[in-house]
């Protein structure tokens, strides 16, 4: 068979098949055609709603970061509220509030009235622990939360010098963390660990003396066991484990 005849035959076969498809569509029940139309409309609507949801989500996230960047108290509080607490901007706001509790109304106000500020340091530690759980495996937020816990525990050495060893355990865990040992937080923890556990013991002794002098100067009472915050700085087990909730 010549090439021209073969090509003409293939063309005729294709035309015959297309003709059958068209004829089938023409002779199909109206119900089948309607079904295809409905499916097509549904697909278009689904795409439209998905795009709209995506745009709204993106706009909402952008607005949240604008409010966080503004830094106004009401904005930060609203971002840290229950409704937004698990969003990226909400978590960042929670870190901001934890830092304010630890530093602004905690450490910086110890000379005015140590009772309230020490309680705020406890509250900051609690929030950092919650953030460590909520930010699990987040390469940016989780190491910050773990370091926050360690720093708060060390601050409690103002009431109890054994907190220095408890803090060392936390720094050690972060410095050796498989994922975070090379982060800025991991390296800071390593540096602090070397100071708390220097082989000569001189730096540790100096730190202990410094905390003791600050305790006397600020008139801070010793830490009572019943006032301790549960689960922080315990030397046994994983120092970052969250205490199990007790059934009411």
pLDDT in tens, 122-131: 999 999 999 9
Query: 99 and 9: one domain?
Result: no
Query: 24 and 82: one domain?
Result: no
Query: 95 and 140: one domain?
Result: yes
Q: Are 91 and 134 in contact (CB under 8 A)?
A: yes
What is the band of 21 on the pLDDT scale with cuts at 50, 70, 90? Answer: low
Q: Please report whether residue 66 resides in a domain.
A: no
Range of the domain at 25: 3-58
Q: Please report whether residue 232 resides in a domain.
A: no
Q: Please report whether residue 246 resides in a domain.
A: no
| Domain count across the chain | 2
Which of 79-83, 95-99, 230-234 is the most confident on average?
95-99
Mean pLDDT of 167-181: 96
What is the band of 62 on the pLDDT scale with cuts at 50, 70, 90? Answer: confident
Query: 75 and 50: one domain?
Result: no
For the full predicted model, state whether its pTM sits above 0.95: no
Q: Please report whether residue 65 resides in a domain.
A: no
Q: pLDDT tens, 143-169?
A: 999 999 999 999 999 999 999 999 999
Query: 33 and 100: one domain?
Result: no
Query: 52 and 93: one domain?
Result: no
Domain boundary among 37, 58, 79: 58
Q: What is the pLDDT of residue 230?
A: 41
Query: 121 and 78: one domain?
Result: yes
Q: Of 9-13, 35-39, 94-98, 144-148, where does mean pLDDT reach its minimum?
A: 9-13
Query: 28 and 106: one domain?
Result: no
Among the listed residues 29, 86, 25, 96, the one whose alpha carbon sits nearest the alpha carbon of residue 61: 86
* Rounded CA separation 197/189 (Å): 12
Mean pLDDT of 213-219: 93
Q: Please report whether residue 175 resides in a domain.
A: yes
Query: 159 and 187: one domain?
Result: yes
Query: 19 and 114: one domain?
Result: no
Query: 123 and 205: one domain?
Result: yes
């Amino acid at each position: 068979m010549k090439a021209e005849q073969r090509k003409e035959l293939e063309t005729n076969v294709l035309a015959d098949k297309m003709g059958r498809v068209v004829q089938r569509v023409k002779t199909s029940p109206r119900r089948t055609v309607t079904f295809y139309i409905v499916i097509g409309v549904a697909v278009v609507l689904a795409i439209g709603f998905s795009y709209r949801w995506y745009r709204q989500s993106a706009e909402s996230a952008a607005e949240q970061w604008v409010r966080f960047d503004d830094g106004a108290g009401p904005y930060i509080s609203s971002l840290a509220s229950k409704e937004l607490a698990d969003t990226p901007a909400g978590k960042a706001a929670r870190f901001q509030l934890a830092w304010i509790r630890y530093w602004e109304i905690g450490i910086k106000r110890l000379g005015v009235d140590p009772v309230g500020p020490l309680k705020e340091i406890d509250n900051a530690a609690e929030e950092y622990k919650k953030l460590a759980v909520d930010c699990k495996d987040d390469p940016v937020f989780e190491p910050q939360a773990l370091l926050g816990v360690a720093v708060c525990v060390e601050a409690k050495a103002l009431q109890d010098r054994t907190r220095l060893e408890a803090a060392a355990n936390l720094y050690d865990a972060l410095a050796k963390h498989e994922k975070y040992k090379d982060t800025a937080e991991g390296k800071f923890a390593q540096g602090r660990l070397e100071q708390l556990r220097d082989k000569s013991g001189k730096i540790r002794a100096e730190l202990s003396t410094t905390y003791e002098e600050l305790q006397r100067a600020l008139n801070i009472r010793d830490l009572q066991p019943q006032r301790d915050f549960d689960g922080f700085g315990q030397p046994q087990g994983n120092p970052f484990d969250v205490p199990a909730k007790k059934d009411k």
